[in-house]
Amino acid sequence: MDINKIKNAEAKHYMPVFSRDSLVLERGEGNCLYDINGNKYVDFVAGIATNILGYNHSEYTEAVCNQVKKLMHVSNHYYTAIQSQYITRLCEASGFPRVFLCNSGAEANECAIKLARRYFKNHGGDKTILYAEGSFHGRTLATLTVTGNTAQHERYSPLPQGFDSFKYNDFDDFKRKLTDNVGAVILETIQGERGVRPFSNDFLANAYALCKSKGVLFIVDEVQTGMGRTGTLFSFEHFGIKPDIITMAKGIAGGIPMGACLASEEVGTAFSRGDHGSTFGGNALACAAADKVLEILQSGLLTKGAAMGAYLGERLAHLSKYNFITDIRGLGLMRGIELCDKVPATEFESKLRDKGYLVNVAGNNTLRLIPPLTITKAEIDGLIAALDEVCATTHV
């Protein structure tokens, strides 16, 4: 297949929203991708934290193929045994008794916003929702509104009403903004798209305690940080907090589109029949995939992924000796390496690609590492060696 033909078709027909790498990927095996010329890449992007089992994972592939042959989709007007099996497993594993299944992270957050608003209506009237500057929650109009990106806000105004922002990691500002009009707060514990930027433990503990004391709902977007990414099933577990609502997507079904909004019994029953819905959400195929992913996590991968995450953290630490590396941060298998302005992270990205490693750039000149949870020590060692080689030939 001619790469130019592929690029031309995209240029001619696809709406011009993506900046794509000049790479045509054809197949995956284990934690590696192969392009149309047969070149192999160890994948530290994983479809942006989505392919948590890597590629062609035998147990997962078998479960998905079997479900395709049996039943892929029926309307949510009917029950399926696989959806029932999955929601039971998910609710038991997460400790949240109520779930709504959808198809993406944006939809999961849209559901969380609608659920919070419905809850406010049931408890005395309209309230606003606070979000963090620098956040990313999706691209529907409501989730774009709670995404802290003013350039995007200007492009799509007028935006839905009833939202306000607070400064990232600034508890004084948070306290000021948490007026009696606020009914809910939404945040990511680690802002992935902003370059793997974690909130401090203190901020999260204080913000959570204040919300609890005022009866304000605490919503954590676990779309990128969930499914074992940070070493626990959900990232909020690191901070001793228990949100009222969490949202999930990306790795939830190992690459098949799915999202979920989970809630406490009190909040999760704020919707009544007909208040929300989705044609594809929670269909048999997505549930079979998600059920297998969660089963695999529960039978050892969560622990193994946590160990690999700790190992990756240890192996990255020595890079701080390079004067152009300004920060190394993150948790588990979600790490960011921030470079100084004089060294474009995109150059590192392409040099690493030439050495057979895929990483991507997020936020402020930061290399983001979010590999499959099945990543091995040898693959991490290989990336570190490649990073060292690139660093050794970089001078500022």
Closest CB 79 distance from ligand PLP, rounded Å: 26
Q: Which stretches of the chain bind ligand PLP, using CB under 6 A?
A: 48, 104-106, 109, 136-138, 188, 192-193, 221, 223-224, 249
Cβ proximity to ligand PLP: between 53 and 113 the closer is: 113
Cβ proximity to ligand PLP: between 106 and 285 the closer is: 106
d(CA 138, CA 357): 27
Closest CB 91 distance from ligand PLP, rounded Å: 21
Q: Cβ-closest residue to ligand PLP?
A: 105
d(CA 99, CA 222): 14
Closest CB 233 distance from ligand PLP, rounded Å: 16
Cβ proximity to ligand PLP: between 227 and 387 the closer is: 227
Closest CB 136 distance from ligand PLP, rounded Å: 5
**For strand 334-339 and strand 360-362, is the pairing parallel, antiparallel, or unpaired?**
unpaired
Cβ proximity to ligand PLP: between 83 and 143 the closer is: 143
249 Cβ neighbours under 8 A, 6+ residues apart: 104, 105, 107, 108, 223, 258, 259, 260
3-state secondary structure of 55: strand
Closest CB 241 distance from ligand PLP, rounded Å: 17
d(CA 153, CA 137): 13
**HSE (side-chain half, CA atoms, 13 Å) at 61:** 8
3-state secondary structure of 206: helix
> For the chain, how many residues are written?
396
Closest CB 247 distance from ligand PLP, rounded Å: 7
Cβ proximity to ligand PLP: between 349 and 379 the closer is: 349
Cβ proximity to ligand PLP: between 109 and 169 the closer is: 109
Residue 339 and residue 394 in contact, taking contact as beta carbons nearer than 8 Å: no
176 Cβ neighbours under 8 A, 6+ residues apart: 166
d(CA 68, CA 170): 48
Which pair of tokens denotes residue 178?
């948490």
